[in-house]
Chain A
Amino acid sequence: MQHRYIPMTDQDRKDMLETIGVNSTEELFNDIPQKVRFDGELNIKPAKSEYELTKELTQLAEQNSHTKSHTSFLGAGVYQHYIPSIVDHVISRSEFYTAYTPYQPEISQGELQAIFEFQTMVCEMTGMEVANSSMYDGGTALAEAVNLSAGQTKKKKVLVSKAIHPESMEVIYTYAKGFNLEIVEIDYQNGLTDLEQLKSELDEDTASVVIQYPNFFGQVEPLKEVETMLEDQKKTMMIVSSNPLALGYLTPPGEFGADIVVGDTQVFGIPAQFGGPHCGYFATTKKLMRKVPGRLVGQTVDEEGRRGFVLTLQAREQHIRRDKATSNICSNQALNALASSVAMTALGKQGVREMAELNMKKARYAKKAFEAAGFETLHEGPFFNEFIVKLNKPVSEVNEQLLQKGYIGGYDLGRTSDGYDQHMLVAVTEVRSKEEIDQFVKEVGEANG
């Protein structure tokens, strides 16, 4: 059957085989030894027509509860936010999404400039001097930052707060293995990193300290105190993982002397899509510019003196350095970085603060509403848009009931965090209305018994 993605007709094939000088396409595969040939048909489902496949997969998708069918209070690193309509219109331009890495700058100025603008926006958000073109996601960006700190300081010990995203912690362990790093987990107290323990573990062998700001429990870590602590260990690097939206309100890590700031720009224009693809960002200081993993776009001029952009400082990268490379990353998340750029541009200087504050105000309203309904909430300190509600029964039981009522409940903290069995991490973003919050509190109360 002639497939719609394959244009060659029988006549084309005949003409082409003649030019090649063979009788059949089969002959072109004669170099594959008979012993390894695959005979017969692959045991996968038969092809479906465009209409039938769309119908089938739409029905499959409808088996899932999603944020159009349900009202969600689930966050824990992935959030439902306002996505301006223009975002999808821009990233649907096929000149962007069907292009590859901009190796030929003359015909890739669009992509290169978009990345340059993204780098600028990430610098602005984080208060850092340099940002790369993006990473796979916030978790792997953090793990790469840890590896970079070890390579740069020639030290093997890394102090990681247990109040970071638990899956980022797991990824750090996997990435660190190839470099034989020693990961020391720093416990939390009342939802914040235990600074006493951090201080006692910090020594001259410490490559870096890793903190999330705001942390996994939504709490705002006192970065100022971490900065002060590191004054005695000048070589130890400070690595901060941040939800960039929170930095619309919070003092950016760059102002607390962070050496590397990473995170995920999913909050800006990228749908949850079951956890990926999202878009990691990686920001650092000028001093570390030549150590950054991944692609960097730089401004330059052409032969006529016109401003333009190119991939630059490629001597850092895997395809040049081969086995001397410190990271093997080739791709970036260009299309998602573009989505985030468009969303950040739409929000602009005022909107990004307004959106951060909306999250904070609505989250505070929700926290008070839970308290007024008789729930115990945690913690006491300043927080961004997430807080913890203590339940009487397993969170998954409550969540199953909430699903029936049209809600996607919060994150089951007991799954991953010690001491938090039957605690739900509730996220409230700008898209939740007062009415939805009130109703949710009521439904959680009923499900909780």
Chain B
Amino acid sequence: MAKEQDFPVIFELSQEGRKGYHLPELDVDDINLDDEFSNEYIRQENPDLPEVSELQIMRHYTALSTRNHGVDSGFYPLGSCTMKYNPKINEDITRIPGFSMIHPYQEESSVQGALALMYDLQESLSEITGMHSVTLQSAAGAQGEWTGLMMIGAFHEANGDHHRTKVIVPDSAHGTNPASATVAGFEAVTVKSNDQGLVDLEDLKRVVDENTAALMLTNPNTLGLFEEHILEMAEIVHEAGGRLYYDGANLNAIMGYTRPGDMGFDVVHLNLHKTFTGPHGGGGPGSGPVGVTEELAPYLPKPLISKRDSEEYFFDYDRPKSIGRIKPYYGNFGINVRAYTYIRSMGPDGLKQVSENAVLNANYMMRRLETEFELPFSQHCKHEFVLSGKNQKKMGVRTLDMAKRLLDFGYHPPTIYFPLNVEEALMVEPTETEAKETLDEFIDAMIQISNEAKEDPEKVQEAPHTTVVDRMDETTAARKPVLRYYRED
């Protein structure tokens, strides 16, 4: 039941008879539709949607937006998510009617501009990753992972290697990696990290065998560290007949410095909503293109965008070895337009500067914060780093508490409790779009919170103090789920 202090849900503003729409007039014969249908197919009660005026809708959603923190609201150093600035020109370009108001089934002759953009994006991403060809069809990183693994599976199958059922995943990997392996029909096998936070080569040799389908890796890895022995790893896996999968979650660290293709990877997925500024949208839509070597190119989902000698672009469906279609139509075109706009705004030099400054920012923060927080791996990091809240935990302040306290300073906290192999982990990714002043202010806040942990732990334990709601009762939410609104009557 709603209390006075509760922020209303839209249904609570509803009054019978109020309207927020004006539909086109009925300018054809008004017929009785009900004559055509037997009664049981005619909806008896309208769906109980809100009845509100246009201003009420605007006020409601504007108020909701003020109860939300985005990159434009303030610093958002959420590790592994690359919460960088989302350029406004991207939003404008994607809304041009020639991009936003085209239908996927129009004749190819009437969408040559869109196909040209997609083709050039495929080519640009191939170049940036050092791969042979790229599909734009995948809707998100997770779908990209699954697509890549399905292709590796199809490749092994075509070679008669039906026994290759295992996908190796580092213990520090994001949970999506093993989940993708499972839904693609593989068994996930874990390889350990060593005390430098890198894949343990000896353990890799132990787990790789004739049943290995692939090794999935992010590089830099989830600790923000570059896997220096990548070539040895590639050799171990390739020798055994497996293929190397690159999770592009962390590409922001290496553009123009190295390319997955040059490191020996066979399949790459990218998160255009991370490195290439498609906005995160509150959780989506994203876009997760997949690039492959020449050997694996025949297995790409169909259609691809190709070009005839006459400079005419077309959908290439003639791909007999393709794993098939992974999504209706051609991918999240609207996000791909944004990513393309970004790449064209940056150019080759700009993309390299992106990685240079992302790495500079991360290392600067890491060195300033290691005086106050435990740093489990002390080598230079790439675009992000992981701290441990171990010291503060001894004073009864957990990483969760510090994260909540950061909210009072107007920050979105870092990723917490991930990766799993660091106790009380805090994973910080500043990105290249943040100014030094912003980094300094955040560092000061972190140091202040660490001091509070020593001097006034309750202040941290009871945080946040300034947000529109306090900490939520998540246990009850899960035990007695209320997943929709019910009217009180």
Instruction: Give min CB distance, B47 to chain A, whole Å.
Output: 4
A95 touches B48 (CB 8 A): no
- Interface-facing stretch out of A185-193, A197-205, A328-336, A371-379: A328-336
A323 in the interface, Cβ–Cβ < 8 Å? Answer: yes
Kindly list chain A residues whose C-beta atoms are within 8 Å of the C-beta of B71: 94, 98-99
A437 in the interface, Cβ–Cβ < 8 Å? Answer: yes
Report the number of A-B residue pairs with Cβ-Cβ less than 8 Å: 703
Contacting residues of chain B (403-460) with chain A, CB-CB under 8 angstroms: 403-404, 407, 412-413, 432-436
A257 in the interface, Cβ–Cβ < 8 Å? Answer: no
A446 in the interface, Cβ–Cβ < 8 Å? Answer: no
CB nearest neighbor in B for A277: B285
- Given the complex of chains A and B, what is the CA–CA distance between A105 and B470 in angstroms? 9
Given contacts A20-B367, A25-B359, A322-B175, contact A6 B433 (CB under 8 A): yes
B474 touches A95 (CB 8 A): no
Kindly list chain B residues whose C-beta atoms are within 8 Å of the C-beta of A179: 183, 185
Kindly list chain B residues whose C-beta atoms are within 8 Å of the C-beta of A123: 484
Instruction: Give min CB distance, A260 to chain B, whole Å.
Output: 15
Contacting residues of chain A (12-43) with chain B, CB-CB under 8 angstroms: 12-13, 15-17, 19-22, 25, 27-33, 35-38, 41-43
Contacting residues of chain A (246-269) with chain B, CB-CB under 8 angstroms: 247-252
CB nearest neighbor in B for A180: B185
Kindly list chain A residues whose C-beta atoms are within 8 Å of the C-beta of B6: 306-307
Neighbour of A89 across the interface among B58, B348, B464, B471, CB < 8 A? B58
- Given the complex of chains A and B, what is the CA–CA distance between A163 and B9 in angstroms? 39
Q: Is the interface of B mostly helix, strand, loop or mixed?
A: loop
B180 touches A351 (CB 8 A): no
Contacting residues of chain B (225-257) with chain A, CB-CB under 8 angstroms: 225-226, 228, 230-231, 254-257
Kindly list chain B residues whose C-beta atoms are within 8 Å of the C-beta of A69: 97-98
CB nearest neighbor in B for A299: B482
Interface size class of A (residues with CB under 8 A): 35 or more
B104 touches A110 (CB 8 A): no
B357 touches A6 (CB 8 A): yes
B325 touches A171 (CB 8 A): yes
Binary contact track B145-156/A, C-beta < 8 Å → 1, others 0: 110001000000
B194 in the interface, Cβ–Cβ < 8 Å? Answer: no
A326 in the interface, Cβ–Cβ < 8 Å? Answer: yes
CB nearest neighbor in A for B403: A104
Given contacts A48-B344, A347-B20, contact A220 B333 (CB under 8 A): no
Identify which of B51, B127, B379 gathers the most chain A CB atoms within 10 Å of its CB: B51
Instruction: Give min CB distance, A210 to chain B, whole Å.
Output: 15
Instruction: Give min CB distance, A107 to chain B, whole Å.
Output: 4
- Given the complex of chains A and B, what is the CA–CA distance between A88 and B264 in angstroms? 44
Given contacts A271-B101, A306-B3, A365-B28, contact A98 B61 (CB under 8 A): no
B23 in the interface, Cβ–Cβ < 8 Å? Answer: yes
A420 in the interface, Cβ–Cβ < 8 Å? Answer: no
Instruction: Give min CB distance, B118 to chain A, whole Å.
Output: 9
CB nearest neighbor in B for A292: B483
Kindly list chain A residues whose C-beta atoms are within 8 Å of the C-beta of B284: 134, 136, 277, 331-336
B176 touches A330 (CB 8 A): yes
Kindly list chain B residues whose C-beta atoms are within 8 Å of the C-beta of A101: 280, 282-283
- Given the complex of chains A and B, what is the CA–CA distance between A58 and B93 in angstroms? 7
Instruction: Give min CB distance, B149 to chain A, whole Å.
Output: 9
Kindly list chain A residues whose C-beta atoms are within 8 Å of the C-beta of B150: 174, 177-178
Identify which of B14, B58, B68 gathers the most chain A CB atoms within 10 Å of its CB: B68
Kindly list chain B residues whose C-beta atoms are within 8 Å of the C-beta of A7: 433-436
Given contacts A95-B66, A403-B110, contact A310 B477 (CB under 8 A): yes
Instruction: Give min CB distance, B122 to chain A, whole Å.
Output: 12
B308 in the interface, Cβ–Cβ < 8 Å? Answer: no
Instruction: Give min CB distance, A437 to chain B, whole Å.
Output: 7
B86 touches A90 (CB 8 A): no
B179 touches A327 (CB 8 A): yes
- Interface-facing stretch out of A70-78, A154-162, A232-240: A70-78
B20 touches A130 (CB 8 A): no
- Given the complex of chains A and B, what is the CA–CA distance between A327 and B124 in angstroms? 31
A62 in the interface, Cβ–Cβ < 8 Å? Answer: yes
- Given the complex of chains A and B, what is the CA–CA distance between A422 and B380 in angstroms? 64
Given contacts A47-B350, A78-B105, contact A98 B433 (CB under 8 A): no
B436 touches A15 (CB 8 A): yes
A140 touches B327 (CB 8 A): yes
CB nearest neighbor in B for A109: B67
- Given the complex of chains A and B, what is the CA–CA distance between A16 and B367 in angstroms? 10
Given contacts A99-B69, A251-B44, A274-B111, contact A361 B328 (CB under 8 A): no
B101 touches A68 (CB 8 A): yes
Kindly list chain A residues whose C-beta atoms are within 8 Å of the C-beta of B330: 274-276
- Given the complex of chains A and B, what is the CA–CA distance between A222 and B360 in angstroms? 63
A117 touches B469 (CB 8 A): no
Instruction: Give min CB distance, A435 to chain B, whole Å.
Output: 8
Kindly list chain B residues whose C-beta atoms are within 8 Å of the C-beta of A37: 257-258, 262
Kindly list chain A residues whose C-beta atoms are within 8 Å of the C-beta of B334: 273-274, 276-277
Instruction: Give min CB distance, B102 to chain A, whole Å.
Output: 5
List 4 A-B pairs, minimum CB-CB distance, nearest first: A275-B329, A61-B98, A47-B347, A63-B113
- Other than the given A101-B280, A179-B185, A361-B29, 10 more pairs (CB < 8 A) read A8-B360, A90-B57, A90-B65, A92-B91, A109-B7, A165-B328, A301-B476, A331-B141, A382-B41, A403-B109
A-B contact pairs, 24 of them (CB 8 A): A33-B231, A42-B127, A44-B351, A54-B93, A60-B116, A62-B113, A63-B113, A90-B58, A95-B72, A97-B279, A106-B472, A124-B49, A275-B333, A302-B471, A318-B179, A322-B178, A324-B182, A329-B140, A329-B143, A345-B57, A362-B26, A364-B28, A430-B24, A435-B27
